[in-house]
């Protein structure tokens, strides 16, 4: 029996307004998510790390410039003359194909090979041209030299 003074509670009717799909609703748990203060600290650390990476890159670029200058000075100190350039390397026989740009290279000459990763001196033991041993390679010839270490295309060959 219902009394006249009491009013029945209104039942909420779900509106058909657009709401976010359940997949996009993000539940926040204080245990799983860091506090705002710690998030700010983390962002600060990330920014500091990025800034230090930039500083390292800048100093690396400066270092490259300095090493290039040092190499040029070293070449002047040793009184080197560039006589050729490496055009190919054969790893199985440890031989380099060298295009002679100036002068000549003879058996017994001391040479200095300098490149991005190569940097060594050695005495010329043998020279080949078209698989035949020769005593001297002249300007314009592409000769084969036995080398003690790996060389790369574009490395410079200097006579000491």
Domain termination residue (choose one: 77, 96, 128): 77
Rounded-to-integer distance, Cα 93 and Cα 81, Å: 27
On whether residue 13 sits in a domain, the answer given is: no
Of the ranges 21-30, 39-48, 136-145, which one carries the lowest mean pLDDT score?
21-30
SS3 sequence of 122-142 = EECCCEEECCEEECEEECCCE
For the beta carbon of residue 122, count every other beta carbon within 10 angstroms. 16
Average pLDDT, whole number, for the chain? 78
| CATH code (residue 98) | 2.40.30.10
Same domain, 63 and 118: no
* CA angle 142–152–125, rounded 5-degree value: 55
Parent domain of 128: 80-159
Q: What is the largest CA-CA distance in the chain?
A: 125
Cα 104 to Cα 122: distance, rounded to the nearest angstrom: 16
CA distance 125 to 150: 16
Q: Are 115 and 151 in contact (CB under 8 A)?
A: yes
pLDDT at res. 79: 78
E strands, 1-109, are 81-90, 95-100, 104-106
110 and 143 inside one domain:
yes
In a domain, 14, yes or no: no
**Residue (of 86, 77, 131) closest to 105 by Cα position:** 86
Q: What is residue 46's predicted lDDT score, i.e. its pLDDT?
A: 73
54 and 65 both lie in a single domain: yes
Residue 138 and residue 97 share a domain: yes
Q: Is pLDDT larger for residue 14 or for residue 133?
A: 133
Q: What are phi and psi of 114, to 5 degrees?
A: -130, 130
Query: Do 108 and 62 share a structural domain?
Result: no
Q: What is the number of structural domains in the chain? A: 2
Tell me the average pLDDT across 79-90.
93
Query: Same structural domain for residues 43 and 101?
Result: no
Q: What is the pLDDT of residues 98-135, one digit of tens each?
A: 999 999 999 999 999 999 999 999 999 999 999 999 99
Q: Are residues 56 and 70 in the same domain?
A: yes
Residues 137 and 155 in one domain: yes
Q: What confidence tier does 160 reach under pLDDT thresholds 50, 70, 90?
A: confident
Whether residues 88 and 112 share a domain: the answer is: yes
User: Quick check: pTM over 0.75?
Assistant: no
| Higher pLDDT among residues 98 and 18, named by residue | 98
Same domain, 105 and 86: yes
* 1 inside domain: no
Report pLDDT for 76.
54
């Amino acid at each position: 029996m219902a009394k006249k003074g009491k009013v029945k509670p209104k039942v909420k009717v779900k509106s058909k307004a657009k709401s976010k799909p359940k997949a996009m609703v993000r539940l926040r748990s204080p245990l799983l998510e860091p506090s705002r203060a710690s998030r700010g600290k983390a962002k600060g650390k990330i920014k500091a790390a990025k800034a230090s990476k930039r500083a390292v890159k800048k100093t690396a670029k400066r270092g490259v410039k300095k090493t290039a200058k040092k190499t040029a000075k070293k070449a002047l100190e040793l009184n080197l003359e560039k006589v050729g350039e490496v055009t190919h390397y054969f790893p199985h026989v440890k031989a380099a194909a060298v295009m002679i740009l100036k002068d000549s290279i003879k058996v017994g000459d001391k040479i200095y090979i300098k490149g991005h990763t190569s940097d060594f001196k050695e005495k010329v033991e043998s020279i080949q041209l078209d698989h035949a041993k020769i005593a001297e390679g002249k300007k314009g010839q592409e000769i084969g030299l036995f080398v003690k270490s790996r060389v790369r295309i574009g490395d410079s060959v200097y006579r000491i």
